[in-house]
């Protein structure tokens, strides 16, 4: 813990806000935590996949004869064997390519064999004849009339009603925000500025890639083991694709070695299920190679963002018009949601009366864009926070002053029309970050005249997917110990520990008496997803309600033992007592006295859906309650720039976050620190290079991610503005830890050099060009 980090607010809690050993820590450090890659099942076969070398081509023929005749091969499948489509917002993707391929890396055939080496050899024996087709790679060109169509049948796909698409085009998603009168807003403005910003492909780079296993039951049901973050998403999408009842699809979550959004929706699972369906009941395991993670998994959407902003001379914001184009590649995956989420946060955490936003999700013949930590908000934050400093500089206003003048406060409305009443900590994060960073004071002098130093900041907000649902069971054994049963997934974020703290606080029992298992859709209740920074708020509330239900049952059981009516009893400190009385009967004793020596278990159940949530209007994006909660953050970055080479070194990042009441301080600080380093990578060095649809740096030898040597001093600040509806006042944190870092660094570079880069990543080559243009 950095010695400048913020202690959590003391509210007399016993477990909430206190240090706690991570639930899975010992298992992980001793190697007993079971990841997907560790999975071994009796009779298990191993899968390999043949992928297309072309970004757009017609499949003329596939010859499988030699592969099928190889000893040890048990199954070989192509798209013709499994005529199913899958997807989340839109079901547009085949299990394996059918008729044509739409991106380089698309699965064309798959093999299951008794060993990986045999499966690999069999793949090399498959012969495919392709007829290349013209492709479309630039999303702006893909939007033009007459562009090559990636999906001629866009209008025929099943799609969620919440999204707009345009059959006969490549536009698979279009989200709108319409608030006020945008043209009137620009007429009222005293200055109008228009700037364009772009972002790049970024790979998730999880330690553990996509890995899963699948097995077909005698009744045609399917069991899938997956390193995933959304078991019930997987169940739903597989059941729909296969036409099976939900009860005959079972998804078991293994340990997850990193996800960051990449494992939110199906990816390796459909083709593994396809092989399992032809493997005579034997389980089939498939694990991506690192190269497949680059070419065959999902990546962060590249974005092209045009921001036109009208302001008064004193910096008061009047109008903002945004056109955002997200390159979703060959299939929709999470693209429509990403574009929509970006629109909802597109103006930034500012009070702007006139707003017009168009956010597009566009097909191209490129790798597939998917969910990535922040769901489109990092791209939008890069644009609006870069432009905030650009406008402040043009007007001669301090960047802090301009933000303070416009930041949202309680009683203000977001661009979606939601009036904010609780836990609005944008200004608090800015104040704390400014105070802790020494913003406004001079940085220490650089050691060389060729090195310039600067300081910059960025502020952001983010919503969570709303409305969504979570259900939990708190199961008490006859000895008074407790199991927590839910389908939230431990991804490394420490959520299992947080749930134990919440329930321990409510029941007044030691954390070591509470354990939690993994998700299994046959036995653990529904949870929408472990994503969107939603788990503490949604599942945490479900846990509280389940604990309340358990406490109610114990009070009912204890009433005759205490000779008191239930309404005069309370559950506290692990037992039941009359209100105001010191006499307490432990839960263990209550169960034994009411059920006998053999005992019983009690199951408390709780479900949570955010109250008052209203889906947005499709045409205007307006909603009285768009999000269950909003998260706020401000980052201040110190950098030094080598003026001769263009190399940037980040010296320090102060990161202030309003996440409501902090349940697990060390875990929260770890989230912030990890997000900052991930943000530095996306700012300075990470870029998956794609040339005419072909990934050209599909390995860690060429794709550069930050190492520990690149990590600067990070000062995490926990700014607690409790949420009225959160469990003990908590809300989310994970995603905002990434988003403000890039614009804070860019603004610091400008502060140091007067050079502005508007395209990520900020490479030495780009910066040298900008320095030259700035006369530096």
Q: What is the pLDDT of residue 537?
A: 97
Q: What is the mean pLDDT of the chain?
A: 96
Alpha helix ranges (H) inside 99-170? 116-125, 139-142
Q: How far is CA 322 from CA 177, 186, 349, in A?
A: 9, 13, 15
Q: If you average pLDDT over residues 242-248, what whole number do you get?
A: 97
Q: Is residue 526 part of a domain?
A: yes
| Helix H or strand E encompassing 145 | none
pLDDT digits (tens, 9 = 90+) for 383-397: 999 999 999 999 999
On whether residue 154 sits in a domain, the answer given is: no
Same domain, 337 and 291: no
Is there a single domain that holds both residue 96 and residue 224? yes
Inside any domain, residue 27 = no
pLDDT value, residue 4? 38
With CA atoms as reference, report the closest residue to 373 among 258, 291, 228: 258
Assess whether 432 and 505 both reside in one domain. no
Determine what percent of the chain is predicted with pLDDT higher than 90: 96
Average pLDDT estimate for 148-167: 96
Global confidence as pTM: 0.96
Shared domain check, 411 and 326? yes
9, pLDDT greater than 50: no
Residue 366 shares a structural domain with residue 441: yes
- Taking alpha carbons only, the member of 416, 325, 361 closest to residue 159 is 361
How large is the average pLDDT for residues 450-474?
Answer: 96
DSSP 461-528: EEE--SS--EEEEEEE-TTS-EEEE-----SSS-HHHHHHHHHHHHHT--GGGEEE---BTTTS--B-
pLDDT, residue 12, reads 86
Which pLDDT does position 775 carry in this prediction?
A: 84
Which comes out higher in pLDDT, residue 693 or 446? 693
Distance, in Å, from the CA atom of 369 to the CA atom of 53, rounded to the nearest integer, reads 19
- CATH of residue 279: 3.90.1170.50
Whether 576 and 703 map to the same domain: the answer is no
Asked if 591 and 629 sit in the same domain, the reply is no
pLDDT band with cut points at 50, 70 and 90 for residue 10: very low
Per the domain annotation, does 15 fall within a domain? no
For residues 396 and 407, is the Cβ–Cβ distance under 8 A? Answer: no
pLDDT of the residue at 447? 82
pLDDT score of 89: 94
- DSSP three-state, residue 590: helix
Tokens of 691: 């040339």
- The pLDDT, as a whole number, for residue 67 is 98
Each residue's pLDDT tens digit, 714-745: 999 999 999 999 999 999 999 999 999 999 99
A 10 A CB-CB count for 694 gives 18
Task: Give tens-digit pLDDT for 333-354.
Answer: 999 999 999 999 999 999 999 9
pLDDT of 533 > 60? The answer is yes
- Mean pLDDT for 287-295 is 98
Which one of 577, 608, 639 terminates a domain?
608
Q: Is the pLDDT of residue 1 over 80?
A: no
Which of 553, 581, 608 marks a domain boundary? 608
Distance between CA 199 and CA 379 in Å, rounded? 7
Structural domain includes residue 177: no
Length of the chain: 776
Two structure tokens written together for 46 = 């191993």
Domain count, the chain: 3
SS3 category, 446: coil
Cα atoms in the Cβ-side hemisphere of radius 13 Å centred on 543: 31
Q: Give a yes or no: residue 251 inside a domain.
A: yes
The answer to whether residues 544 and 474 touch, using CB atoms and an 8 Å cutoff, is: no
| Angular region, 164: left φ>0, alpha ψ -120 to 50, beta rest | beta
Q: Is 282 helix (H, G, I), strand (E, B) or coil?
A: coil
The DSSP result for 727-769, as a single string, is GGGB---TGGGTTTHHHHHHHHHHHHHS----BSS--HHHHHH
Residues 78 and 127 in one domain: yes
561 and 691 inside one domain = no
Q: Among 495, 586, 486, which residue's Cα sits nearest to residue 536? A: 495
The rounded distance, in Å, linking the Cα atoms of 414 and 128 is 53
Region 301-321: mean pLDDT is 98
Cα torsion angle, 700, 705, 710, 715, sign: negative
Angle at 680 between CA 676 and CA 683, to 5 degrees: 135
Report pLDDT for 11.
61
- Residue 406 belongs to what domain range? 299-465+616-773
The answer to whether residue 8 scores a pLDDT higher than 60 is: no
Rounded CA-CA distance 64/60 in Å is: 13
Of 26 and 188, more confident: 188
CATH number of the domain where residue 510 is located: 3.30.365.10
Mean pLDDT of 466-490: 97
∠740-742-746 over CA atoms, to 5°?
120
pLDDT range class, residue 7, cuts 50, 70, 90:
very low
The 10s digit of each residue's pLDDT in 98-156 is 999 999 999 999 999 999 999 999 999 999 999 999 999 999 999 999 999 999 999 99
CA distances from 223 to 34, 219, 286, 730 (A): 18, 12, 14, 35
The answer as to whether 166 is a domain residue is: no
Beta strand residue intervals within 133-270, DSSP E:
171-179, 191-198, 211-216, 222-226, 249-253
Boundary residue ending a domain (275, 296, 317):
296
Q: Give me the helices (H) in 563-661, please.
A: 587-595
For residue 182 the two structure tokens come to 């945008």
Question: Cα–Cα distance between 555 and 569 in angstroms, integer?
Answer: 6
- Whether residue 443 has pLDDT greater than 70: yes
- Per-residue pLDDT band for 774 (boundaries 50, 70, 90) equals confident
State phi, psi for 388 to the nearest 5 degrees: -55, -45
Read off the tokens for 542: 């479900």
Other beta carbons less than 10 A from residue 232's beta carbon:
19
Residue 412 sits in the same domain as residue 290: no
* Token pair of 123 as six digits: 């793949």
My answer on whether 599 and 654 are in the same domain is no
Query: Is the predicted pLDDT of residue 2 greater than 60, yes or no?
Result: no
Is 193 within the bounds of a domain? no
Render pLDDT for 29-53 as a digit per residue (tens, 0 to 9): 999 999 999 999 999 999 999 999 9
Q: Measuring CA to CA, which residue among 631, 618, 700 is closest to residue 672?
A: 631
Tell me: do 242 and 348 sit in the same domain: no
Residue 240 pLDDT > 70, yes or no?
A: yes
């Amino acid at each position: 813990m950095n010695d400048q980090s913020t202690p959590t607010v003391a509210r007399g809690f016993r477990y909430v806000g206190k240090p706690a050993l991570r639930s899975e820590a010992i298992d992980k450090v001793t190697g007993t935590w079971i990841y997907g890659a560790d999975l071994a099942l009796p009779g298990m076969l191993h899968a390999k996949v043949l992928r297309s070398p072309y970004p757009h081509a017609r499949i003329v023929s596939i010859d499988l004869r030699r592969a099928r005749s190889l000893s040890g091969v048990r199954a070989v499948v192509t798209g013709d064997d499994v005529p199913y489509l899958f997807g989340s917002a839109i079901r547009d993707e085949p299990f394996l390519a059918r008729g044509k391929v739409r991106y380089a890396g698309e699965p064309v055939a798959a093999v299951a064999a008794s060993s990986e080496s045999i499966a690999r050899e069999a793949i090399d024996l498959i012969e495919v004849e392709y007829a290349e087709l013209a492709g479309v790679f630039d999303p702006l060109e893909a939007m033009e009339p007459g562009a090559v169509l990636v999906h001629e049948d866009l209008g025929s796909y099943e799609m969620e009603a919440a999204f707009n698409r345009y059959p006969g085009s490549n536009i698979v998603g279009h989200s709108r925000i319409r608030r006020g009168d945008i043209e009137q807003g620009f007429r009222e403005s005293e200055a109008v500025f228009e700037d364009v910003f772009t972002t790049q492909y970024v790979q998730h780079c999880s330690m553990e890639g996509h890995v899963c296993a699948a097995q077909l039951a005698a009744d045609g049901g399917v069991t899938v083991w997956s390193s995933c973050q959304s078991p019930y998403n997987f169940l739903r999408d597989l059941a729909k694709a296969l036409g099976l009842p939900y009860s005959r699809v079972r998804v078991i979550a293994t340990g997850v070695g990193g996800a960051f959004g990449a494992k939110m929706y199906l990816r390796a699972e459909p083709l593994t299920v396809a092989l399992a369906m032809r493997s005579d009941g034997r389980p089939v395991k498939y694990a991506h190679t690192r190269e497949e993670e680059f070419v065959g998994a999902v990546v962060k959407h590249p974005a092209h963002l045009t921001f036109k902003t009208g302001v008064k001379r004193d910096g008061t914001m009047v109008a903002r018009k945004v056109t955002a184009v997200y390159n979703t590649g060959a299939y929709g995956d999470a693209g429509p949601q990403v574009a929509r989420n970006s629109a909802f946060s597109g103006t930034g955490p500012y009070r702007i009366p006139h707003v017009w936003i168009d956010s597009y999700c566009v097909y191209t013949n490129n790798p597939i864009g998917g969910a990535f930590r922040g769901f489109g908000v990092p791209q939008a934050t890069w644009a609006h926070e870069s432009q905030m400093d650009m406008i402040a500089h043009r007007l001669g206003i301090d960047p802090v002053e301009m933000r303070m003048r416009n930041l949202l406060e309680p009683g203000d409305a977001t661009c979606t029309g939601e009036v904010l009443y609780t836990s609005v900590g944008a200004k608090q994060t800015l104040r704390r970050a400014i105070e802790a960073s020494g913003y406004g004071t001079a940085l220490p002098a650089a050691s060389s005249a060729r090195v310039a130093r600067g300081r910059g900041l960025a502020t952001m907000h983010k919503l969570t997917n709303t409305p969504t649902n979570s259900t939990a069971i708190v199961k008490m054994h006859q000895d008074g110990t407790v199991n927590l049963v839910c389908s939230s997934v431990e991804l490394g974020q420490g959520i299992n520990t947080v749930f134990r703290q919440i329930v321990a606080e409510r029941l007044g029992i030691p954390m070591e008496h509470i354990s939690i298992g993994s998700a299994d859709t046959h036995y653990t209740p529904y949870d929408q997803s472990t994503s969107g920074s939603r788990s503490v708020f949604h599942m945490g509330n479900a846990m509280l309600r389940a604990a309340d239900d358990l406490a109610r049952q114990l009070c009912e059981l204890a009433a005759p033992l205490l000779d008191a009516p239930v309404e005069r009893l309370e559950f506290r400190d692990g037992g039941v007592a009359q209100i105001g009385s010191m006499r307490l009967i432990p839960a263990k004793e209550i169960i034994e006295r009411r059920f006998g020596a053999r005992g019983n278990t009690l199951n408390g159940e709780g479900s949570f859906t955010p109250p008052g949530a209203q889906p947005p209007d499709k045409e205007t994006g307006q909603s009285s309650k768009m999000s269950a909660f909003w998260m706020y953050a401000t980052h201040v970055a110190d950098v030094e720039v080598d003026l001769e080479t263009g190399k940037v070194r980040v010296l320090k990042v102060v990161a202030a976050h309003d996440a409501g009441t902090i349940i697990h301080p060390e875990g929260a600080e770890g989230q912030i620190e990890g997000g900052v380093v991930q943000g530095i990578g996306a700012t300075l060095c990470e870029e998956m290079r794609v040339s005419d649809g072909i990934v050209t740096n599909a390995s860690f030898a060429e794709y550069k991610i930050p190492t520990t040597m690149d990590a600067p001093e990070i000062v995490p600040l926990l700014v607690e503005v409790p949420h009225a509806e959160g469990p003990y006042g908590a809300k989310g944190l994970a995603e905002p830890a990434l988003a403000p870092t890039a614009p804070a660094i860019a603004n610091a570079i400008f502060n140091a050099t007067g050079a502005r880069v508007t395209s990520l990543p900020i490479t030495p080559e780009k910066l040298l060009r900008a320095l030259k243009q700035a006369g530096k």
